[in-house]
Amino acid sequence: MTNKETIYVVSDSVGETADLMVKAVASQFLGKDVEIKHFSYAEDEQDINNVITAAKYSHSIIAYTIVLPALKQYLDQRTAEEGITAVDLMLPLMNAFTQTFNTEPSHQPRQMRKLDEDYFKRVEAIEFAVKYDDGQEVRGLRLADIVLIGVSRTSKTPLSMYLANKKFKVANVPLIPEVPPPQELFNIPRSKCVGLMITPEKLNEIRRERLKNLGLTSPANYASLDRILEELNSAQNIMRKIGCPIIDVSNKAIEETADIILAMFNKRGSFANG
């Protein structure tokens, strides 16, 4: 017959951290039947008293992640008075942070939720960049924070993904002389559109290398200088018609181009909520 024990998980937030830690520890005691009970969003002394009342009549442990100093102190005091074992799961690591990095914690609850929100915004932006890559679904142009336009091999896709990792929704559209650009390009605010240009020589070098990597060694119109000049001239005319800023990406790393774009948009106030 197993001896059932109770662990009260108390937190001033949801309590996922405490719950996972308790389960990880409990899994090491195979002979024990452990029941975990949750008290989430503990905000005041009454919430603590409710836990104490439940715990003092059973053989139990209180495991908690509470960062509000006054509430933590009250819980420590009350559990000591009642002879209940209470464990602050965050204290050792908090002390290590303080001593090693010479900094103090904010003692603000629910900070993990803010981190989670940042994470999900980043994921959403990455999914957006994939969905609206290379001119797919022009509806994305209206929904995007940034729209990148340019000829093939001007780093539109990697730049879109880099900016997405900074939580910006980016769509990109390839400019091809034989294919009219979508009308939506001329309907969106030109302030959120960015043209990417490159020197003919650099683009010729990039495209030749691309063909080589694909195993295509015979001459191809894609990499011919005449074709490249035609594409760049057509693209520049479209960019001028839209009235968007143009960045020469010939000798720039993705990070450098992204910094230019963000600085430009921040200066205009376009990313006030970014």
Task: Enumerate the known binding-site residues for ADP.
Answer: 150-157
Strand partners, 62: 8, 86
3-state SS, one letter per residue, for 134-146: HHCCCHHHHHCCE
Q: Let me know: does 149 contact 238? Beta carbons within 8 Å.
A: yes
Locate all alpha helices (DSSP H) within 43-86, ordered by sequence: 45-55, 69-82
DSSP H or E stretch at residue 156: helix 156-164
Residue 220, amino acid: A
Annotated binding site: which residue ranges? 150-157
Structure tokens at 257: 């181009």
Q: Report how far apart the first and last C-alpha atoms of the chain are (Å, whole number).
A: 58
Q: In whole angstroms, how large is the CA radius of gyration of the chain?
A: 29
Helix (H) or strand (E) holding 60: strand 60-65
- Tokens 């965050």 sit at which residue? 90
- How is 189-249 classified by DSSP, letter by letter? -GGGEEEEE--HHHHHHHHHHHHHHTT--S--GGG-HHHHHHHHHHHHHHHHHHT--EEE-
Order of strands across the sheet with 3-11?
32-39, 3-11, 60-65, 85-88
